[in-house]
Structure 1
């Protein structure tokens, strides 16, 4: 029994309606959450799990794709509420999640502060205060590129840098499902690179999309956009060619 449960969570952020899609992976022995939303999202996660006839009391692990605020915001609260949880992240992400290194998103925001107009600066300062408020959480287990976890039919770790240097996506071997994190997003039914202004290295992000073509993907799940409807390989190739029309995409 290997099941994938979508936890589509709707909320308001900065005056606009948004949706994120954390995922629960389930087998006979494990209930694994992939990413966990903004701070104070624990009740929303619990409610979304309940709608799937599941309870977070049964959670065994949390896999973090990267240390952005909407992916780790409720991680410390989860660990506090369910102390038996094993927190898993990519090896280079662990110090940021644990608060041992300054968030790269915070460094990015601070670096742009002096170049902003006064009105924009106030918003940026509020964002910086918010980033500083994210509660750190120790990582229990680190993983590496192409490592295979013997969970839920097999989970391969795919290092997909660009959005952040330590970003990972997950390939579920049994169901040929890719959990993309923020490696790609769905906008108006199309695959896109996650918000370019938040992508720390666009060329790396494009190379990461190209890497995904090495996998036989029947289902693609994006944190922003949910489940992609359509031919995944074709959509990935179209995305790559939109960024570099001169290069032929051979994979897939």
Structure 2
């Protein structure tokens, strides 16, 4: 079993940016963790192919949480590869499937009311981005401590950034895929975007929780791989 980071380069507000979805390779089957923004399917496909893997072997997509940069292309993946098994926490699956209005959209609409004038345009744009996301039903709903992917991966509940955020722990390769429970700053794991955390205290506890796993490799969606 191995884990690859997929560096996806894109431009945002005229600046070069990166996100790092993860690809898990297990018994010739592929599992993608998070899907980038809307219209990122081709970018992610190209990175997978560049590493020598075939899309026909993509068996699962795991979504760490509902945010537009993580679920943006999920609908496109499911449309193009209908056999894919989509995995998410039970809490997040309600938002991803559209059963319940997402926490992030509720938060964005509330923040808009008190935003400084110069930020209102961005706030409205962000709300529209969230409203444009297409709903996808979840095939497999997971909980804290569940063992998935042939018992090689343990689901770790890491709430804070969102209520149902999950990270993934792989004991055999001493690795954690953090989602947005941690980002890398100055070669350290820190909380992602405290201003957008739905619960900062829980986010701090979740960061401590994944640090306490004492992994050697942390794969962060923002910042890439950290070796300890």
TM-score by length of 1: 0.87
SS at match of 2:87: strand
Give me the CA root mean square deviation. Answer: 1.3
Deviation sequence 1:73-99 (CA, Å, 0-9, x none): 000000000000000000111110111
Counterpart position of 2:34: 35
Q: Does the Cα contact within 8 Å between 2:85 and 2:139 map onto a contact in 1? A: yes
Q: Does the Cα contact within 8 Å between 2:6 and 2:47 map onto a contact in 1? A: yes
Counterpart position of 1:215: 213
The structural deviation recorded for 1:127 is 1.1
Distance 1:46 1:216 in 2: 32
What are structure 2's unaligned runs of at least 5 residues? none
Residue 169 of structure 2 is aligned to residue 171 of structure 1: yes
Counterpart position of 1:74: 73
Mapping for residues 127-206 of structure 1, pairs under 5 Å: 127-151=126-150, 154-206=152-204
What are structure 1's unaligned runs of at least 5 residues? 232-252
Q: Which has the higher strand share?
A: 2
The structural deviation recorded for 1:135 is 1.0
SS at match of 1:131: helix
Counterpart position of 2:94: 95
Distance 2:44 2:56 in 1: 12
Distance 1:100 1:111 in 2: 20
Size of the alignment, in residue pairs?
A: 228
Distance 1:133 1:50 in 2: 28
Distance 1:138 1:172 in 2: 26
The structural deviation recorded for 1:216 is 3.5
Distance 1:195 1:62 in 2: 24
The structural deviation recorded for 1:211 is 1.5
Segment of structure 1 superposing worse, 34-43 or 106-115? 106-115
Distance 1:112 1:86 in 2: 35
Structure label with greater radius of gyration: 1
Distance 2:113 2:27 in 1: 53
| Structure showing greater relative contact order (alpha-carbon pairs closer than 8 Å, 6 or more residues apart) | 2
